[in-house]
Amino acid sequence: MVADERKAFLLRLSPKLWSELEAWAADELRSVNSQIEFLLREAVRRRKKASAEPDEAASVLAPRPRK
């Protein structure tokens, strides 16, 4: 049994995007793989948080009641 099982998959990126991710990962002292995993984890966390909160965009666009 492997202690840290991970799903391996092929990801195709443009050379320009790869270079950007590589530089960003280096700035944060991560490998490109770790940087991509970090970014995906953050995106999932933000999505879950946004779905748990009331829709702020709707409240901003809704007309305000007159006093």
| Dihedral angle sign, alpha carbons of residues 50, 12, 22, 20 | negative
Give the pLDDT band of residue 4 (cuts 50, 70, 90): confident
Does residue 1 register a pLDDT over 80?
Answer: no
Q: Per-residue pLDDT tens for 57-67?
A: 555 556 656 65
Question: 12: buried, middle or exposed (CB in 10 Å: 19+, 13-18, 0-12)?
Answer: exposed
Task: Kindly report the pTM of this predicted structure.
Answer: 0.68
Q: What is the C-alpha to C-alpha distance for residues 30 and 49, in angstroms, rounded to an integer?
A: 25
Axis-axis angle for helices 32-52, 15-27 (nearest 10): 90
pLDDT, one tens digit per residue, over 24-47 is 999 999 999 999 999 999 999 999
Q: In this structure, are residues 31 and 25 in contact, taking their beta carbons and an 8 Å threshold?
A: yes
